[in-house]
Structure 1
Amino acid sequence: MRRLLRLLTFVLFLALLGSYLLWTQLRPSGHYLSDLRSELALDRGEPGARGNLLGIQPELFAGDYQSRDRLELKFAAYLEKARAAGLLNARTVVVLPEHVGTWLLLSGEKPEVYQASSLREAMTWMAASNPLRLGLAWLAARGDDRLTDALLRMKARRMANDYQTLFGGLARRFGVTLVAGSIILPEPRLEAGQLRVGQGPLYNVSLVFGSDGEPLGQPQRKHRPTNAERPFLAAAADDELQPLETPAGRLGVLIGADADQPQLHVLLRRQGVQLLAVPAFLAANPHHPPQDDSTLGRLAENAPAPAIAVFMGCRLWELGCGGRSLVVTPLEAQHAEVGSGARLINLWL
């Protein structure tokens, strides 16, 4: 009898384990509607031969990241609106916000992730539905926040491919230079034109795509991670700044809080940049976006060239993000007005 009970217990365990493993492989795609509208919130200068800096401050929800195609649909709608308004040309440099690529971590997950009531609950569902992959990534994780590190490593290759395919494709489709915000990846690098990941530290990086959809230069790493990022992110050295040649001129890119570092502006000025893009991110109450971002307090006084800083608008579970996007010229600095929905911010050069 005891042998029979042990056998039945073992069979039941195998059945439960098999059901769990089968559940982890299921990825049903639910019906989802998202607002594709946007409005021109700020338009400075006059159209000319030099082109323009065009910032897109999107409004993104967890469900927008369910697949790369859904996210592409949203950004394509924003760019179509800009094209209809006469804001796209061969010399346009489009700038997306910081971490717009990082949330590709959510792509291809279970509906429970997008329907979660909090970020912690969503991360728990992700961990439960990817046990083997997360376990392997955990072994390579480092830093004080190992769960976040492991989740990002677990999806790194897919995230890198989705990031390049999505934003490189949009640059080619609309014939513009595109600063693709930023994404967190382990030791990212370009090899034969492809974005690859390694086994080393996590970096917050931005990649710029030309109008042919191909990357321009190596990924630009963030130099000054924020307090929230330091538990799992490494920092770049100051000498890693790399201006890029674009149809609109020599472009510099500073990610988020890097724009508040005067020494980086000095380096860019020495390197002869003619325009500056600042992908930015600021966590906020989703119902009451902040009016200003102190991490960009020195941008207006230090910018070596006409500049645009673009924030991400989001409502990701209890996490909101906002901020007022900003344009800077030698004569003035002006914030876009806070409002609901996606916003376009344009600066003619």
Structure 2
Amino acid sequence: MSPFVRNAIVSLFLVPIFACIGWLLSGVPLSEEEFQKRISKKEIKSVSLGWDRRSGNLLIVQLEFKPEYFTREDRFRAWLEEPLALAKEKGWLQNATVVAFPPEIGNYFFLMNSRKELLDSENIDSAWNWALFFQRISIKNFSHIFDGEAVSFEIAQDSKERYERIFGDLAKIYGVSILAGSICLPSPEVKEGKLSIKPGEWQERAYILDPSGKFVEGSLLRTSSQKSEGTQVAGSEKEILPEVWVANLPSGRLGILFTEDLKSSQMEEIVKKTYASKLIGLGSQEDEGKFREWIKNSSFESSGQVQFSGNVWSQEFPAKSFAKTRYGSPEPIESQKGSLIINIFF
């Protein structure tokens, strides 16, 4: 075999390898110019119910979901602060205010400072797998290139720190309590106002930060994410009962639940046993309207639901956030797409 032919054959193998290496090294985050092109800002709609008796209020913040907001911390903070600033202008933020953000909001922190290719993934699982791959081959985690669990924990640690810092800062700046949606972390625990994690079972939980920026004791477990594992007892699957978290806040006791748990026949009875007169539901993507209908016919002093709006990664967020007083009807009457804040005075 002549040297020319031999070199030509070798090049057939080397060119794809070097091309792959070049692609891996050429990844860049989403630039500010590209970010502005992808984001089309619209006016934030607002609704207010009841009257101000200086006894606190609930502010439901429906955000229009765009994964681009998660690519940089300053973009994410600005996204959260825009509705808060508007609420402050309207006089809706007080020491006894509870601000509720949509569930799952903490589950997308893995996109921070990531390559822009992740934004065009087919679904969230694909985006996560690519994020995990790029983290494993990064200089920071190269020693764990074959240890996916260790790298996943590093991503979780970064997410936990951002979640705590960002929402804690906003709670202090605006002087309110913040129900910071939910976040999935390994073996999370709140102790003395701080959130910690350790290697173990991943759980999605919702947390509240008080006006001092510290975590309120307790949390709400998303039980639907645990049911897939299922504990087998005597050949049958053990039922995991839904949870209702009753948080003691400056404005009083607030019951919090994931609305998908209303599918359980025991959920209504569990809520009744809490004796909470105020209730907020963290809305499911698979919204069937059951929670809204239940609240419509209930006599809670104040209640509501918070969800995202928008379409992303082949999934749709329903945008069916609402609030209701004891004697009124859920408002808005129909789902409102886009960014929306709903204020309800206690």
The change in CA–CA distance for 1:305 and 1:77 in structure 2 (over 3 A counts) is same
Residues 268-296 of structure 1, C-alpha deviations (whole Å, 9 max, x = no match): 5444424222222315xxxxxx8x53465
- Following the alignment from structure 2 to structure 1, what is the Cα–Cα distance between the partners of residues 73 and 277? 33
- Following the alignment from structure 1 to structure 2, what is the Cα–Cα distance between the partners of residues 61 and 38? 16
Give the superposed CA RMSD.
3.9
Q: Which residue of 2 aligns with 1:99?
A: 104
Residue 23 of structure 1 deviates from its aligned partner by 2.2
Q: Which residue of 2 aligns with 1:347?
A: 344
- Following the alignment from structure 2 to structure 1, what is the Cα–Cα distance between the partners of residues 270 and 122? 44
Task: Say whether 1:306 aligns with 2:302.
Answer: yes
Contact 2:189–2:197 (8 Å) recurs in 1: yes
The change in CA–CA distance for 1:294 and 1:81 in structure 2 (over 3 A counts) is same
3-state DSSP of counterpart to 2:337: coil
In the alignment, residue 29 of structure 2 is paired with which amino acid? Answer: P
Task: Say whether 1:243 aligns with 2:254.
Answer: no
Residue 154 of structure 1 deviates from its aligned partner by 5.6
Residue 165 of structure 1 deviates from its aligned partner by 1.1
Residue 204 of structure 1 deviates from its aligned partner by 1.6
The change in CA–CA distance for 1:53 and 1:305 in structure 2 (over 3 A counts) is same
Q: Could you tell me the percent identity over the aligned residues?
A: 20
The change in CA–CA distance for 1:278 and 1:347 in structure 2 (over 3 A counts) is same
Residue 323 of structure 1 deviates from its aligned partner by 3.3
- Following the alignment from structure 1 to structure 2, what is the Cα–Cα distance between the partners of residues 175 and 233? 41
3-state DSSP of counterpart to 2:198: coil
Contact 1:134–1:154 (8 Å) recurs in 2: no
Contact 1:100–1:181 (8 Å) recurs in 2: yes
Contact 1:259–1:278 (8 Å) recurs in 2: no
Mark the structure with the bigger radius of gyration. Answer: 2
Residues 222-249 of structure 1, C-alpha deviations (whole Å, 9 max, x = no match): 2344xxx754799996596542221111
Q: Which residue of 2 aligns with 1:211?
A: 211
Q: Which moved more, 1:258-267 or 1:185-194?
A: 258-267
- Following the alignment from structure 2 to structure 1, what is the Cα–Cα distance between the partners of residues 116 and 202? 27
3-state DSSP of counterpart to 1:307: strand
Residue 183 of structure 1 deviates from its aligned partner by 1.1
Which residues in structure 2 correspond to 1:133-212 (within 5 Å)?
135-137=146-148, 153=153, 155-212=155-212
Q: Which moved more, 1:196-205 or 1:111-120?
A: 111-120
TM norm structure 1 = 0.78
Q: Which residue of 2 aligns with 1:317?
A: 313
Residue 301 of structure 1 deviates from its aligned partner by 4.3
For structure 2, list consecutive stretches of 5 or more residues without a partner in the other structure: 138-143, 232-237
3-state DSSP of counterpart to 2:276: coil
- Following the alignment from structure 1 to structure 2, what is the Cα–Cα distance between the partners of residues 260 and 59? 26
Residues 42-89 of structure 1, C-alpha deviations (whole Å, 9 max, x = no match): 321112121211100000211111022211101101100111122211
Q: Which residue of 2 aligns with 1:287?
A: none
Q: Which residue of 2 aligns with 1:30?
A: 31
- Following the alignment from structure 1 to structure 2, what is the Cα–Cα distance between the partners of residues 86 and 37? 22
3-state DSSP of counterpart to 2:185: strand
Residue 305 of structure 1 deviates from its aligned partner by 4.6
- Following the alignment from structure 1 to structure 2, what is the Cα–Cα distance between the partners of residues 239 and 279? 13
Task: Say whether 1:280 aligns with 2:276.
Answer: no
Q: Match for 2:84 among 54, 79, 86?
A: 79
Residues 101-155 of structure 1, C-alpha deviations (whole Å, 9 max, x = no match): 1122222210111244654653453244233567423x58xxxxxxxxx96x562
Residue 262 of structure 1 deviates from its aligned partner by 6.3
Which residues in structure 2 correspond to 1:6-45 (within 5 Å)?
16=18, 19=21, 23=25, 27-31=28-32, 32-33=35-36, 34-35=39-40, 37-45=42-50
In the alignment, residue 179 of structure 1 is paired with which amino acid? Answer: L
Q: Which residue of 2 aligns with 1:334?
A: 330
- Following the alignment from structure 2 to structure 1, what is the Cα–Cα distance between the partners of residues 134 and 338? 32
3-state DSSP of counterpart to 1:81: helix
Task: Say whether 1:49 aligns with 2:54.
Answer: yes
The change in CA–CA distance for 1:108 and 1:306 in structure 2 (over 3 A counts) is same
Residue 267 of structure 1 deviates from its aligned partner by 4.0
In the alignment, residue 107 of structure 1 is paired with which amino acid? Answer: M
In the alignment, residue 307 of structure 1 is paired with which amino acid? Answer: S
TM norm structure 2 = 0.78
| Count of residue pairs brought into register by the alignment | 327
In the alignment, residue 289 of structure 2 is paired with which amino acid? Answer: D
In the alignment, residue 339 of structure 1 is paired with which amino acid? Answer: Q
3-state DSSP of counterpart to 1:109: coil
